[in-house]
Amino acid sequence: MSAAPALSPRWSGQSRVAAFVFIAALLLFPVFITDQFTLHMMSLVAINAMVALGLQLLFGFSGQLSIGQAAFYGIGAYTSGLLTTKLGVPFPAAFLASAVVASAASLLMVPITRLSGIYLAVSTIGFSILVHLVLKNEEWLTGGTFGLIGIPRVSLFGYTLRNPVYSYFLCVGSALAVYAALVRLERSRFGRAINAIRQNEDAARSNGVAVTFLKSQCFMIAAFVAGLAGSLYAHQVRYLAPDDFTFWKSIEFLFMVVIGGVGSLFGAVLGAAFVVLLPEWLREIGDYRMLVFGALIVIVMLFGEAGLAGFLRTISRRFGRAFGRHAAGMRPPAATPGPSPSKQDSNG
């Protein structure tokens, strides 16, 4: 039964297949759905998912509750918008610069990583409000409430991506790359250490983990990813207004993470789809849509803390039990947490 010990659970055959199907579906999506608006919405889902993935690392893994991610998203968006419109910087450079500037801005968070829980959260809200006000009031730079207009389309290697299919692939591809990077991080020494910090900071410290440093790294990574997403957003909608980056947007990112399932990267993606798409689908019911949206959030939360990802896990487990019985002998012993047979041990 005991093979070589594994620090991270091995990918099961089912999850490999699921990942393959998911990626294939994303790639084939524009083949079947050519409606421009739908593709645009899917691109927005991918962009938002990137920010949510970063926040999942920050909150779901390292346990730092940030309600200020819109600030980094906005910094990235404006960096890219300004560099391309005012200085004529090519997109790839502006794309990277957005991430670098956003993560540099996150260094302002280093002193507050010593705070925890609600105190940290309130400080990040403050930061989000601050950045929004700067975007709104520094008209010489950002255009103020008039916004930043005339942001060019993405152009790569001298070729402008006019077709929304290409920007769809750019956004989805970026989101997949971020996803893959964070999956690898989750299953590494770094990932275990930040999870350890969340679960017991004292214990992490007593094992030599540089807690403040790692927490700051998490802020930087989340901000880096949010900056990338901001840049994509700027070139996707090609018009930036400060009100896209209010503290409400920060709350939306938190919704994505919590609705999707705290601690689950895939959950962050599901959450992003939920938060971005649902209000659009509900547009037909007009003024009531936010009411229904709010109610749906409450309902999803009532299903349990594991969110959409947990819901999906339950379904797939049931499904697997019903249809995968013949393969049960092939499956390795479950590494997933569950009721464990350890209670029978001698215990005083």
Partner 1 sequence: MAEVLIESSRLTRRFGGLVAVDAIDFAVNAGTIHGLIGPNGAGKTTLLNLIAAFYSPSEGTLRFRGEDITRHGPARRARAGIRRTFQNLKLFAEMTALQNASLGLHASNAAGVFDAIAGTPRHRREERAIADAAYDSLAFVGLGPYSDVVAGTLAYGHRRLLEIARAIVARPALLLLDEPAAGLNATEAADLSGLIRRIQAQGTTVVLVEHHMDVVMSVCDTITVLNYGRKLAEGTPSAIQENPEVIEAYLGHGQKPPPQEAHAVS
Q: Residues in the site for partner 1, rule: CB under 8 A?
A: 2, 4-7, 181, 184-185, 187-193, 195-196, 199-200, 202-211, 217, 221, 333, 335, 337, 339-340, 342-343, 345-348
Shortest spacing between CB 183 and partner 1, in angstroms: 10
Residues in the chain: 348
Shortest spacing between CB 191 and partner 1, in angstroms: 7
Which residue's CB is nearer to partner 1, number 150 or number 337? 337
Shortest spacing between CB 288 and partner 1, in angstroms: 40
Closest by alpha carbon to 99, among 66, 71, 73?
73
Shortest spacing between CB 216 and partner 1, in angstroms: 12
Q: Which residues pair with 240 in a beta bridge?
A: 148
240 SS3 class: strand
Q: Which residue has the tokens 């309130």?
A: 122
Q: Which residue has the tokens 């409606």?
A: 35
Which residue's CB is nearer to partner 1, number 287 or number 345? 345
Shortest spacing between CB 343 and partner 1, in angstroms: 6
Which residue's CB is nearer to partner 1, number 30 or number 60? 60
Query: Can you say how many angstroms the Cα of residue 87 is from the centroid of all Cα atoms in its chain?
Result: 30
Backbone angles phi, psi at 30, to 5 degrees: -70, -15
Amino acid at 127: F
Question: Rounded CA gap, 66 and 258, in Å?
Answer: 12
Question: Rounded CA gap, 80 and 83, in Å?
Answer: 5
Shortest spacing between CB 200 and partner 1, in angstroms: 5
Parallel, antiparallel or unpaired: strands 155-156 and 159-160 = antiparallel
Which residue's CB is nearer to partner 1, number 122 or number 181? 181
Which residue's CB is nearer to partner 1, number 213 or number 239? 213
DSSP per residue, 120-182: HHHHHHHHHHHHHHHHHH-HHHH-GGG-EE-PPPPEETTEE--SHHHHHHHHHHHHHHHHHHH
Amino acid at 292: V
Which residue's CB is nearer to partner 1, number 137 or number 199? 199
Q: Which letter does DSSP use for residue 239 in this model?
A: E
Which residue's CB is nearer to partner 1, number 77 or number 229? 229
Which residue's CB is nearer to partner 1, number 137 or number 188? 188
Shortest spacing between CB 64 and partner 1, in angstroms: 16
Closest by alpha carbon to 121, among 112, 130, 132?
112
Query: Can you say how many angstroms the Cα of residue 314 is from the centroid of all Cα atoms in its chain?
Result: 22
Shortest spacing between CB 339 and partner 1, in angstroms: 8
